[in-house]
């Protein structure tokens, strides 16, 4: 029976993992009756009370779903995330966490984006979620291990939750001969001793029952408890309930496994699945964690009641939509409460996708009214708010943000539907959906639809997308982006001197781009950007030829009489967005770039349909892209001001460039900036941001700007009139010759687009600094949420370095521990070198780690010398005669083995030595050195001896032979390499 059950278990096993365990239960027989139905809150409380009251665990609160100082994660996706420093041995000994021994909690987890991503599966079945709660208990540093962990888990499930024992199955690690790991028979025997029948104890390989934190780091075998949904009727239907991980190894960079200095227990059990079992439900969506939401959805939408159907049985995908909306509003509420808001990159981008997916299902499938998603937030707060009070605290903010983003996307979704439907009407029965149309939707940024959503909408209509065409367009776009990174070359579409001359001869007026400044700050703190209506004056093919019209799929450039797009200039990236023909809102022309040539703004686009000279169009800028540029541009002015405050008023800017991701600033410097200077520059910017001052912008005659005291002029040609940007001081006041206000704040000539208040910058962090040329330093900086995360990463790494310093100061007499400490220094150094963090902090930590690495290496050398001396003495006692010593020696590294050989040869100069040291990973180290010899008549003066040394690395092959690799540092030695018949 074990073989088919194993297949069932593999098929049904869910990816929910990671949480801890504890001690031994009494052996009262468990009830065979179904457990009484418990409310989810009672299930959660029973878990926490069990570990706290019966087994002395400390209850710790859930960490935020926003990872703190861990750039490898988009979201916290497992209960163990917050305890990584303990597992890695990097916890600050002065921190509260350093005192943890046995703890338990219910951790908020999000699995969307990144390595663990369940987003696409949500709604399709009855169990997937993007947000779930992980019940977990942990034992650190050997507080308890396998027997106690298994016993506690069995006691809780069978005696507290009263789950019938005959419905529980367990699996354990069956070993892995490839890496020399034996089966975890200890866990197997523990389960058997607890009364689990042998036919319900299953063995699996490393894919199922060996858990690893990552490519390197702590890992170990795990044992899992499964619940049989079939209840003994027919074949077992197993679903994973609880995973118990036994951290006892460390995966090294070379792939080998080494024992950890301390063993840990890390277990995890999904609350939603446990509640479904205890409430006798076959689906997590049928529990009281979701039923209030499903009822609220039904009441608000008027759709048929939720009935739990899936696949083909779910006509119209009504039940799928119920599940998607219920899951996603929980995720949105929890994430926003923890400080993650929908955005354009990283975790915020994933959250944006989740919100848009929820909006689409609610409107297209459930026919929900506008504002529907926001109305569900109070239901989430009522369900989870008592356990996670941050939901109650931020309820109004969550509702407002969800409602605003919902309204924004609804407009885009409506336009997207019209575009898709219009294209579908033109298709034949077997035609693919045009790549150009899908591409136009995806390129419209904040106002458009992502390609995966377009694909999903087409799947529902039974239409396939032209992926080959999409690949071609993506490659073309990548080529154009690559060309634009080479400023010394003429890139893409442009207006040359002949084209400009022709425009002037024909009397075409320069483009009126003043509408690019038409935006305002709303009472709720958001920015509103108006649209702009214009006429197509000229069209250009990709080769620069003027044409009367362009067709579908054609990359083109066009001039308009007016535009609200910012054309790339002054170091600011151009706007992106789209245009539509007036009266035809269902065809988007995505504008990827705008450039200015002699006053004419040339827009670049890929036309999804025909566009003609004379067409009336309406332009929409990509709001998120524009806001990112505005944020970085205002930050650039503040950075320039901070540099002058720190380095002196004569500090000169040598160039800058910015886009929504980051800003680059080149400054003339006499010497490289010190960490203290970098820190003071950031502090100055932070102060200006914290004051949340108004940013004033006004066009004035160029001649008047000569009277502004201390005004900084760049080596640029300025228009007349020129735009003045002043922080905190009205432009009229800054222009007053008697005013010294411009000396106390940032006042610059600038045609870029800016925020209207400095507080909207959020924060600024300089993440990179290097000498571009002699006398010029290049700074790289980020702002807003990125800056906040960079500070958290810097703080986290600082704590790790402080913990490593403390470990090193305590010293150790164990060579293995010293080597692990040295490896940790190397890992930390690599992390500090590559992390996105404050540059001043990076430089300080790099200096500290350099000193620590030297100290760690010195300690290793001393311990190796001590070990070598001890081992050589033992060998000399065993080998008192003869010119040759051949023996095996336990050695943790080749370095120790070589030191032993050299010490033996020093103490017994006439003896040749060959030593072997078997290694736990299946290899053998070998080192040898021949006796010192003298030529006939040569006097034995120091340094006159000639010796040859041979170092071999022997690796067992499957045929029991050995391959030898060698090097001879001095002299000559002839050796025949044959077969080494080691057992």
Give the contacts of 16 (CB within 8 A, at least 6 positions apart): 132, 134, 240, 243, 268, 269, 270, 273
Give the contacts of 169 (CB within 8 A, at least 6 positions apart): 5, 9, 196, 200, 201, 202, 225, 226, 227, 228, 236, 238
Structure tokens at 260: 């950890």
Round to whole Å and give the CA distance between 505 and 686.
51
Torsion 507-510-511-517 (CA) sign: negative
347-to-325, 342, 888, 947 alpha-carbon distances in Å: 19, 8, 54, 62
Give yes or no for a contact between 260 and 249, defined as CB atoms under 8 angstroms apart.
Answer: yes
496-to-549, 599, 653 alpha-carbon distances in Å: 20, 13, 30
Distance of CA 180 to the CA centre of its chain: 33
Give yes or no for a contact between 226 and 215, defined as CB atoms under 8 angstroms apart.
Answer: no
Ordered alpha helix ranges (H), 446-537: 451-460, 467-484, 497-505
Give the contacts of 827 (CB within 8 A, at least 6 positions apart): 216
Structure tokens at 490: 């003429």
Is there a cis peptide before residue 891, judged by omega within 30 degrees of 0?
no
**What secondary structure does DSSP assign to 17-48, as a single string?**
-------PPP-PPPP-SPPPP--HHHHHHHHH
Best CA proximity match to 660, nearest among 755, 555, 588, 749: 755
Angle between helix 318-337 and 372-384 (nearest 10): 70
Is 637 annotated as ligand-binding? yes
Q: What is the b/e burial string over 812-838, where b = at least 16 CB atoms within 10 angstroms of the residue's CB?
A: eeebebbbbbbbbbebbbebbeebbbb
If DSSP states are collapsed to H, E and C, what string results for 66-88? CCCCCCCCCCCCCCCHHHHHHHH
Structure tokens at 644: 């002058």
Round to whole Å and give the CA distance between 129 and 403.
22
Give yes or no for a contact between 730 and 750, defined as CB atoms under 8 angstroms apart.
Answer: no
Residue 361 carries which DSSP code?
Answer: I
Structure tokens at 727: 């922080």
Round to whole Å and give the CA distance between 268 and 18.
4
Is 128 annotated as ligand-binding? no
Is 754 annotated as ligand-binding? yes
Round to whole Å and give the CA distance between 163 and 242.
13
Give the contacts of 605 (CB within 8 A, at least 6 positions apart): 555, 556, 557, 558, 579, 589, 590, 591, 592
Q: To the nearest 10°, the Cα dihedral for 182, 183, 189, 190?
A: 90
Give the contacts of 459 (CB within 8 A, at least 6 positions apart): none
Give yes or no for a contact between 50 and 96, defined as CB atoms under 8 angstroms apart.
Answer: no
Pairing of strands 58-59, 102-110: parallel
Is 219 annotated as ligand-binding? no
Best CA proximity match to 635, nearest among 659, 669, 668, 667: 659
Best CA proximity match to 84, nearest among 830, 797, 834: 797
Round to whole Å and give the CA distance between 313 and 310.
6
C-alpha atoms less than 13 angstroms from C-alpha of 59 in its C-beta half-sphere = 14
Give the contacts of 466 (CB within 8 A, at least 6 positions apart): 432, 433, 434, 435, 438
Q: Which residues are annotated as a binding site?
A: 633, 637, 750, 754
Q: Which residues are annotated as a binding site for Zn(2+)?
A: 633, 637, 750, 754
């Amino acid at each position: 029976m074990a073989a088919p059950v194993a297949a069932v278990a593999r098929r049904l096993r869910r990816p929910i993992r990671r949480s801890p365990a504890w001690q031994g239960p009494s052996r009262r027989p468990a009830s065979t009756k179904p457990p009484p139905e418990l409310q989810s809150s009672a299930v959660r409380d029973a878990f926490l009370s069990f570990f706290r009251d019966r087994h002395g665990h400390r209850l710790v609160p859930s960490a935020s779903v926003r990872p703190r100082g861990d750039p490898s994660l988009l979201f916290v996706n497992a209960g163990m995330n917050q305890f990584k420093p303990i597992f890695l041995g990097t916890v600050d000994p002065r921190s509260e966490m350093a005192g943890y021994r046995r703890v338990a909690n219910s951790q908020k987890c999000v699995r969307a984006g990144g390595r663990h991503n369940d987003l696409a599966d949500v709604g399709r079945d009855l169990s997937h979620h993007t947000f779930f709660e992980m019940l977990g208990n942990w034992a650190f540093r050997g507080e308890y291990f396998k027997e106690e962990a298994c016993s506690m888990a069995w006691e809780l499930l069978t005696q507290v939750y009263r789950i019938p024992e005959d419905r529980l199955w367990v699996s354990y690690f069956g070993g892995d001969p490839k890496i020399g790991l034996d089966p975890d028979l200890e866990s197997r025997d523990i389960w058997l001793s607890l009364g689990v029948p042998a036919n319900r104890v299953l063995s699996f390989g490393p894919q199922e029952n060996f858990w690893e934190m990552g490519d390197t780091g702590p890992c170990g075998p795990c044992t899992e408890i499964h619940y049989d949904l079939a209840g003994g009727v027919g074949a077992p239907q197993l679903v994973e309930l609880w995973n118990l991980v036994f951290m006892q190894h460390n995966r090294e960079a070379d792939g080998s496994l080494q024992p950890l200095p301390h063993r840990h227990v890390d277990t995890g059990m999904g609350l939603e699945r446990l509640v479904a079992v205890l409430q006798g439900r076959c689906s997590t969506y049928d529990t009281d964690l979701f039923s209030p939401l499903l009822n609220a959805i039904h009441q608000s939408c008027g759709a048929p009641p939720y009935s739990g159907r899936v696949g083909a049985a779910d006509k119209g995908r009504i039940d799928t939509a119920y599940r998607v909306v219920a899951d996603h509003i929980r995720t949105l509420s929890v994430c926003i409460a923890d400080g993650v808001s929908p955005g354009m990159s990283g975790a915020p981008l994933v959250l944006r996708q989740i919100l848009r997916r929820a909006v689409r299902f609610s409107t297209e499938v459930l026919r929900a009214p506008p504002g529907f998603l926001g109305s569900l937030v109070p239901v989430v707060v009522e369900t989870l708010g008592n356990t996670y009070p941050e939901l109650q605290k931020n309820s109004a903010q969550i509702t407002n943000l969800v409602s605003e983003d919902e309204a924004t996307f609804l407009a885009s979704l409506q336009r997207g539907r019209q575009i898709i439907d219009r294209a579908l009407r033109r298709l034949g029965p077997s035609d693919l959906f045009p790549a150009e149309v899908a591409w136009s939707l995806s390129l419209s940024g904040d106002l458009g639809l992502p390609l995966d959503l377009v694909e999903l909408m087409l799947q529902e209509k039974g239409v396939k997308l032209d992926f080959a065409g999409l690949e071609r367009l993506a490659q073309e776009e990548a080529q154009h982006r690559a060309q634009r990174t080479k400023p010394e070359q003429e890139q893409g579409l442009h207006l040359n001197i002949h084209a400009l001359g022709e425009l002037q001869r024909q009397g075409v007026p320069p483009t009126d781009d003043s509408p690019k400044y038409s935006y305002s700050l709303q009472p709720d703190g958001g920015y509103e950007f108006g649209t702009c209506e214009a006429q197509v004056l000229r069209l250009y093919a990709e080769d620069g030829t003027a044409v009367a019209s362009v067709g579908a799929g054609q990359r083109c450039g066009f001039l308009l009489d007016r535009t609200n797009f910012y054309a790339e200039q002054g170091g600011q990236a151009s706007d992106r967005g789209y245009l539509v023909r007036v009266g035809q809102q269902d065809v988007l022309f995505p504008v990827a770039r705008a450039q200015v040539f002699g006053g004419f703004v040339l827009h670049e686009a890929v036309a999804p349909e025909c566009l003609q000279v004379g067409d009336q169009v309406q332009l929409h800028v990509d709001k998120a892209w524009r806001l990112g540029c505005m944020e970085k541009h205002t930050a650039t002015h503040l950075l320039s001001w901070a540099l002058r405050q720190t380095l002196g008023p004569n500090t000169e800017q040598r160039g800058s460039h910015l886009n929504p991701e980051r800003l680059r600033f080149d400054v003339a410097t006499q010497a490289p900036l010190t960490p203290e200077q970098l820190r003071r520059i950031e502090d100055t910017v932070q102060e200006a941001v914290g004051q949340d001052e108004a940013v004033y912008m006004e066009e004035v005659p160029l001649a008047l700007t000569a009277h502004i005291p201390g005004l900084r002029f760049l080596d640029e040609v300025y228009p007349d009139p020129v735009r003045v940007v002043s922080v905190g001081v009205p432009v009229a006041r800054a222009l007053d010759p008697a005013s010294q206000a411009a000396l106390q704040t940032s006042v610059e000539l600038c045609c870029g687009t800016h925020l209207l208040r400095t507080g909207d910058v959020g924060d600024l962090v300089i993440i990179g600094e290097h000498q571009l040329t002699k006398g010029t330093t290049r700074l790289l900086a980020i702002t807003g949420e990125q800056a906040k995360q960079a500070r958290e990463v810097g703080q986290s790494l600082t704590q790790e370095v402080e913990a490593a310093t403390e470990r090193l100061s305590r010293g150790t007499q164990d060579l293995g521990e010293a080597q692990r400490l040295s490896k940790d220094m190397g890992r930390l150094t690599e992390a500090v070198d590559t992390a996105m963090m404050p540059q001043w902090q990076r430089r300080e930590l790099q200096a500290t780690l350099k000193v620590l690495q030297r100290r760690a290496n010195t300690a290793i050398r001393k311990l190796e010398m001590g070990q070598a001396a001890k081992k050589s003495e033992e060998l000399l006692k065993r080998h008192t005669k003869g010119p040759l010593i051949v023996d095996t020696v336990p050695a943790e590294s080749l370095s120790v083995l070589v030191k032993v050989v050299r010490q033996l040869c020093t103490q017994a100069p006439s003896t040749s030595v060959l030593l072997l040291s078997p290694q736990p990973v299946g290899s053998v180290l070998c080192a040898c050195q021949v006796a010192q010899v003298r030529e006939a008549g040569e006097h034995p003066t120091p340094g006159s001896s000639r010796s040859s040394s041979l170092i071999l690395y022997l690796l067992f092959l499957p045929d029991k032979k050995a391959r030898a690799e060698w090097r001879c540092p001095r002299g000559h030695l002839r050796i025949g390499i044959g077969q080494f018949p080691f057992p």
